[in-house]
Amino acid sequence: MAAPFDKTDDSVVVIIGTGAGGGVLANELAQKGISVVSLEAGGRYLPEDFINDEWDSFGQLAWLDPRTTSGDWRVAKDFSGLPAWIVKAVGGTTTHWAGASLRFQEHEWKAKTNYGAVQGANLLDWPIDGAEMAPWYEKAETKLGVTRTGDRAGLPGNNNFKVFEAGAKKLGYKEVHTGRMAINSSDYDGRMACQQTGFCFQGCKWGAKWSSAYTDIPRGEATGNLEVRERAHVLRIEHGDDGRVNGVVYADKDGVEHKQMARIVCVAGNSIESPRILLNSASAMYPDGLANSSGQVGRNYMRHLTGSVYGIFDKPVKMWRGTTMAGILQDEARLDPTRGFVGGYELETLSLGLPFMAAFLDPGGWGREFTTALDSYENMAGMWIVGEDMPQETNRVTVNSDVTDQFGMGVANVNYSDHANDKAMSAHAYALGQSIYDAMGATRTLPTPPYPSTHNLGTNRMSENARDGVVNRNGRSHDIDNLFVSDGSQFTTGASENPTLTIVALAIRQADHIAGEMTRGNL
């Protein structure tokens, strides 16, 4: 049967979310002839709709439904109602993401083994490794057109990169280049080359950056096997007396509730909404929420250790021109506990426009210390720190029933406190970032605190044993055999790399698993 599908059709796979995980999974299944209904909370925006304006774009794309925060992380103080900067739209956060596409390093798949006991950290080895993931990474790199993989050339360096590269090389760093980016350096797969416009975070108006919104989603729809239901906000997943899930209840744009029956349900609403949905789906049979016999749903929330460093020079940089994040230093991503911490970090070029710089440079700051920095905006260079943060059981997403959303559902509370390892790594990374700009003659450097989280990971983690996590090596619930998790929430640990490539690779692999299990009659 071809799309659209009837709500009573219980032969369909229902996927919640259309981003890097859900959007890719939907297309991969549709290409295999499997019927899919994708439920997307947001609307559909395509390159012609994207806006080269930071606040206008934020209003168009960002997930702004209420959330709450707690814990000692600075985001809870600076942006108490906005723990994450992620997208509510078809394509999810693949409209907003920077495009950095890095494979995990081999040792990062086995953090518990390689890092040893870290007090207060809930480390665990992934049940999979780099060798197993290699072919899936290659498929993901080909799908996304990642530069510096296959025969694809790197992007050219912009002004911001040139400052970053020269400073890093003066300090003796070697692994410094314009990154492995899902942004075309030349025309690829029907999408054009990067025009160095800036505004990568506001949706690429050229389509040069990969997003599921204008690749996997329409390709899946073209098969006739995929129906994407927009502005369909999932409230809960339901199950039958046999304990298996049988459908998903959502509110449409008018707030009217519907239930889509399902053969299989895949949750890909990101690491904040995915656990919230599972917890909000609690029933008499599953009083602690679905897939939660381990008690790990919502726990081990990771957001990467982040921060920015801006350097001010006596001459112009104009960092906003060109690809926002085409620049990386990878030497410090290695495992080297002699630095005083386990795990590693990347430094990546970053720029914000003047409006967001005013909002994020020093939230709450005012007076001349603040304004003289902005006075030199044209002479600023910028970089972002992204490092592996420690999973902690108490860093978690819970349902805050004191605050409800537009559908009367308890909202997600994101509790996070920095681990001592995170703080040690952070100090190292800020110092290096400032040294890089100092080496180039910076007259002032600004160690800028974290923005709302863009890398939200780990709240439904993958584990070998059911007691340690929520899903198995295929992202399949330990408890309920036709319930899957398909986004970054299945990350066992965060590694130091931007997560999207791994989310995409896992989704391609999961599609293969689901199709195989259906063929074998197991699903």
Which positions lie near another protein, rule CB under 8 A?
52-53, 55, 156-159, 162-163, 166, 194-199, 205-206, 313, 315-318, 320-322, 353-355, 357-359, 364, 366-368, 370-371, 374-375, 377-378, 440
Q: Closer to another protein at the Cβ: 110 or 205?
A: 205
Min CB(402)–another protein separation in Å:
22
Min CB(450)–another protein separation in Å:
17
Question: Token digits for 48?
Answer: 């012609």
Cα(417)–Cα(421) distance, rounded to whole angstroms?
Answer: 12
β-strands 68-70, 410-415: how paired? parallel
β-strands 36-39, 264-267: how paired? unpaired
Q: Closer to another protein at the Cβ: 160 or 330?
A: 160
Q: Closer to another protein at the Cβ: 160 or 292?
A: 160
Q: To 5 degrees, how large is the angle CA 11–CA 16–CA 17? A: 135
The one-letter amino acid at 115:
Y
Min CB(265)–another protein separation in Å:
39
Interaxial angle between packed helices 420-439 and 159-170, expressed in degrees from 0 to 180 and rounded to the nearest 10: 100
Min CB(331)–another protein separation in Å:
20
Residue 371, judged by CB atoms within 10 A of its CB (0-12, 13-18, 19+), counts as exposed
Q: Closer to another protein at the Cβ: 378 or 517?
A: 378
Min CB(416)–another protein separation in Å:
23
Q: Closer to another protein at the Cβ: 344 or 452?
A: 452
- For residues 460 and 471, the answer to whether their CB atoms sit within 8 Å is yes
Which helix (H) or strand (E) covers residue 426, if one does? helix 420-439
Cα(90)–Cα(97) distance, rounded to whole angstroms?
Answer: 14
Min CB(323)–another protein separation in Å:
8
Q: Closer to another protein at the Cβ: 370 or 430?
A: 370
- For residue 106, the SS3 value is helix
Q: Closer to another protein at the Cβ: 199 or 430?
A: 199
Q: Closer to another protein at the Cβ: 309 or 317?
A: 317
Min CB(351)–another protein separation in Å:
11
- For residue 389, the SS3 value is coil
- For residue 449, the SS3 value is coil
Min CB(376)–another protein separation in Å:
9
> Cα torsion at 8, 13, 16, 22 (round to 10°)?
-150
- For residues 468 and 294, the answer to whether their CB atoms sit within 8 Å is yes
- For residues 344 and 335, the answer to whether their CB atoms sit within 8 Å is yes
